[in-house]
Amino acid sequence: MPGPLEGIRVADFTWVWAGPTCTMQLAHMGAEVIRMESMRRICTLRMLPPWPDGQPGINRSGYFNQYNQGKRSIQLDISKPEGTEIAKEIVARSDVAVENFASNVIDRLGLGYEELRKVKPDLVMISMSGYGRGGPESSYVSYGPAQVPLSGMSQLTGYAGWQPMHVGMSYGDPNAGLHAAFAVLSALFFRERTGKGQYIDMSQQESTMAVLGEGFMEYEMNGAQPPRDGNRVARMAPHGVFMCAGEDRWLSIACATDDEWRALCGVMERPELADDARFRSLADRKANEDDLEAEIMSWTLTQDPLEATERLQAAGVPASPPLMNRELAEDAHLRARDFFVKREHPEVGVRQHAGIPWRMSETPCEVWRAAPVMGQDNDYVFGELLGMSIEQIADLKNRQIAY
Amino acid sequence: MPERALEGLTVIECNRTGSAAYASKLMADLGAEVIKVEPLNGDPDRALGPFPGNQPHPEKSGTFLYLNGNKQSVTLDITTDSGRQVLDSLLRDADAFIHDIPPAEADSLGLAYQRFRQTNSGLVWTAISSFGESGPHRDWKAYDLTTLSAGGWTWLNGWPGHPEMPPLRPFGRQSAYQAGVNAALATMGALLARLRTGRGQHVEVSAQECITAILEMTFAFWPYMNTPTARWGQRPIHPIDFFQCKDGGWIFVLCVEEHQWLRLVELMETPEWATWEIAANRFVRASNWDALRPFMEEWVSQWTTDELYRAAQEKRIPFAPASTLSQLLDSEHLKARGFFVEISYPEAGKITQPGAPFKMSETPWEIRTPAPTLGQHNEAILGERLGLSGDEIKSLNGARVA
């Protein structure tokens, strides 16, 4: 059965992480996504680890291969006029164009929305720049890791009394990519009903702030920057990640209700704690949170986090170890759900990749192919899609237009 | 002809974790009609805060207000037969149902897609849960912190070199936001497919998987190199680090591409250390960062945050400040783009809050009405829409169903 976006074609000008995350969602849903890449400006992700055996190679990066599953790749130097024209021919046969260069770069390449709509009047196009179009900082350069501090997330995240922190990944990128994919589908839905395409201007800074709503609300309501408070939150206690037996082993536990807390005391074999005056209600537990966490850690330090999780969950206590990559890869639950994708790749063989976090009953979504090697679909796109002859394609390669 | 992208769509929402509420917010802000079905004591987010003066009040919870603009609120006890019948009636004419009620509880409430597809074959039924609807952990309980841990994010966040400090949550209920945006995206995919097939379908979203799917390159380090990940992920290239400036603010120093580093060296006026072999390229700098860091720290400390941010960007080096919320609210750039919106809430007053996550040229993003008060639309929905008489509504009310 075909995916929900069967018949939709995407001209993919994206690179690094944010843009490719957007177009991968579309590929997951069955759209044909054509990445336009070039040896003149190789995608940053192709140049970053992990690589099998630590040996670099532009087709060997696990980072690239994770976020470009199910896409096609052609080599096209869009900085050359002839390359620009070919890109337009691809756009003319597409429904969607996606790019995430710094603001206005796509215009300088002659591939801005005003140019592209001439060849495809009902095109849906999204630009995903760091700072958006217009405004004094629109030409600033930005990458996902910098979006975390820029958006305000770093000042809100960290241990009590410590400096602002990163969040451990370049969150601005995937968050922008997913919001962008939603925007594209909403625009396609409008197009299907009206015949009108449109242009979408996304600022990664703004899409990151959109998921910090409760922080802004608190600032507005109480006039102060919410302080960094480790893993603690206002309306749950305990709410933390506790040290366990062994080296660098941890367990996260969160209790919102008195019942959950009572159940936790039961699993800890400390039923008297549930009635301890310091811990009886949420207000009590918040008021004595240092003591509360010390009591819990005196138990977790003797525990294996996976075993403790099983017992806590059986008793109805929300708990999970913070899983690392190896534990995720081996996780019985994720495996039982068939979450991981293993497809043969010409240069790295079969590797495990994270898959699609949703399932559809009637129009199944799937990764039909591993991430492409550079230019893997040159012949299909130039030949079948654009109708060029073998000689014409060879000529493009010789003159480094297809490069 | 519709003016808004999602005009004409009707979405019924039941929210427990914030994920269903965020999914339907994304759709409501583009013009979909969203009806929230709330328990009699309200969506749990009404009790979550933040609250003005830290005084809990069901109409003043910041989380609730932020997530529920443009929606209508109906109170309904769906654990009773009569409450469920009303929900059935709402679903009969809806385009999508988005809920995040845990699977076992949804089963016990009779919220099964199979039953509804007979009465409304076009309905898109989107069920969000922490661990999905299958697998050995299906019925595990979770809140945001434990979902982020199970998805692999918490492990990545913390301070390298401080093994005594725990893995750390990022700010905000990010598992809810991620499950929400994935659910909105998948719902739209199913609605697009419906234009072609005429049929709705069941869509299942796992919050855990939504997190595992976005762990940057850190997940791949296991299947590609058998390398376990460390706190603050893998940072295979440098500089990528925070430094404090002389005004006390923090700057994030970042060079992704080598040409950016070369321009940074210029900005630093080519100090000797930057020419050493251990600083020769982004990978070597990463391996030797402990040795190089003090030099960078000293250089940064001579600048104010804003001066350094502007000077770096002038040279197209992707530095960024660690912005405070007040700095963002005062930002000339964000003002020029019109990002923040001011909403007047009936109980909580005027609040300036984040606006559109993206701007569409032909169809507006807007907050047309503030988040509803509890049960604000009971009469309009139950009476005018479903045609229940005043007496019938009263009897629902009398029986504490609505």
Contact assessment for residue A68 and residue A44, using Cβ atoms and an 8 Å cutoff: no
Q: Inter-chain contact A211–B177, Cβ cutoff 8 Å?
A: yes
The reply to whether B192 touches chain A by the CB within 8 Å rule is yes
Reported for A118-121, long-range contacts at CB under 8 A and 24+ positions apart, including other chains, are A119/A88, A119/A89, A119/A91, A119/A92, A120/A91, A120/A92, A120/A94, A120/A197, A121/A197
Into which CATH architecture does domain B240-327 fall?
2-Layer Sandwich (3.30)
DSSP sequence for B230-284:
-TT----SS-EEEEE-TTS-EEEEE--SHHHHHHHHHHTT--GGGGSGGGSSHHH
Distances (CA, A) of B257 to A76, A164, B238, B253, B278: 21, 25, 10, 13, 17
Domain span holding position A357 = 9-211+336-398
Q: Are residues A150 and B321, on separate chains, in Cβ contact within 8 Å?
A: yes
| Statement to judge: residues A48 and A145 lie in one domain | yes
Give the mutation candidate from B61, B175, B185 for the A interface (greatest A CB count, under 10 A). B185
| Helix (H), strand (E) at residue B359 | strand B359-360
- Same domain? For A288 and A377 the reply is no
- Tell me, yes or no, whether A207 and A251 share the same domain: no
The answer as to whether A232 is a domain residue is: no
Q: Are residues A175 and A293 located together in one domain of the fold?
A: no
Q: Are residues A141 and A28 in the same domain?
A: yes
- Is there a single domain that holds both residue A263 and residue A294? yes
First-last CA distance in chain A: 35
**B113 in contact with A, Cβ within 8 Å:** yes
- Contact criterion met (CB < 8 Å) for B325 and A322: no
What's the pLDDT score for residue A104? 83
Last residue of a domain, one of A320, A349, A382: A320
Give the whole-angstrom CA distance, residue B111 versus residue B106.
5
| Residue A67 near residue A20 (C-beta atoms within 8 A) | yes
Do A116 and A167 belong together in one domain? Answer: yes
Show residues of chain B in contact with A183, CB under 8 Å: 357-358, 360
Task: Chain A: give the shortest CA distance to residue B394, in Å.
Answer: 33
Sequential DSSP letters for B279-328: GSSHHHHHHTHHHHHHHHHHHHTTS-HHHHHHHHHHTT---EE---HHHH
Reference A131, options A179, A202, A200; nearest CA is: A202
Q: Say yes or no for a CB contact (<8 Å) between B181 and A221.
A: no
Q: Quick one: pLDDT at residue B402?
A: 66
Residue A349 shares a structural domain with residue A393: yes
- Looking at the structure, tell me whether residues A29 and A121 fall in a common domain: yes
Residue A154 lies in a domain: yes
The gap between the terminal CA atoms of chain B, to the nearest Å, is: 35
Has residue A2 been placed in a domain? no
The DSSP call for residue B69 is T
Query: Is residue A209 classed as helix, strand or coil in its secondary structure?
Result: helix
Q: What is the distance in angstroms between the Cα of B397 and the nearest Cα belonging to chain A?
A: 28
Q: What's the topology of domain B10-214+363-398?
A: Rossmann fold (3.40.50)
The segment(s) of chain B belonging to CATH 3.40.50.10540 are: 10-214+363-398
**Contact check, Cβ <8 Å, B318/A329:** no
Closest to A141 in 3D by CA, of B401, B252, B302, B388: B252
The boundaries of every CATH 3.30.1540.10 domain in chain B are: 240-327
- Which CATH number fits the domain that encloses residue A47? 3.40.50.10540
Catalytic residues of A: 173
| Co-location of A110 and A62 in the same domain | yes
Q: In what order do the strands lie in the sheet with A319-320?
A: A239-243, A250-254, A319-320
Same domain assignment for residues A28 and A79: yes
Q: Which of A146, A222, A324 sits opposite B152 (nearest CB)?
A: A324
Phi, psi dihedrals of residue B132, rounded to the nearest 5°: 85, 180
- Nearest by CB to B184, which of A137, A157, A182? A182
Would you tell me how many other CB atoms lie within 10 Å of the CB of residue A138? Answer: 19
Pick from A320, A349, A370: which residue ends a domain?
A: A320
Check if the interface score ipTM surpasses 0.90.
Answer: yes
A174 with A206, same domain: the answer is yes
- B12, B88 Cβ separation under 8 angstroms: no
Residue B392 has pLDDT above 90, yes or no: no
Asked whether residue A221 is assigned to any structural domain, the reply reads no
Residue type, B365: W
Instruction: Tell which of A285, A320, A355 closes a domain.
Output: A320
| Global confidence as pTM | 0.98
**CA B385 to each of CA B68, B77, B353, B378, B398: distance values in angstroms, whole numbers, following the listed order:** 21, 18, 32, 10, 20
- In order of A7, A42, A206, B207, B266, the CA distances from A15 in angstroms are 24, 9, 20, 26, 27
Residue A206, in any domain of the structure: yes
Decide if A361 contacts B201 (C-beta within 8 A). yes
What the block records as the tokens of B352 is 């300036």
pLDDT tens sequence for chain A (403 residues): 689 999 999 999 999 999 999 999 999 999 999 999 999 999 999 999 999 999 999 999 999 999 999 999 999 999 999 999 999 999 999 999 999 998 889 999 999 999 999 999 999 999 999 999 999 999 999 998 999 999 999 999 999 999 999 999 999 999 999 999 999 999 999 999 999 999 999 999 999 999 999 999 999 999 999 999 999 999 999 999 999 999 999 999 999 999 999 999 999 999 999 999 999 999 999 999 999 999 999 999 999 999 999 999 999 999 999 999 999 999 999 999 999 999 999 999 999 999 999 999 999 999 999 999 999 999 999 999 999 999 999 999 999 999 9
Q: How many domains does chain A have?
A: 2
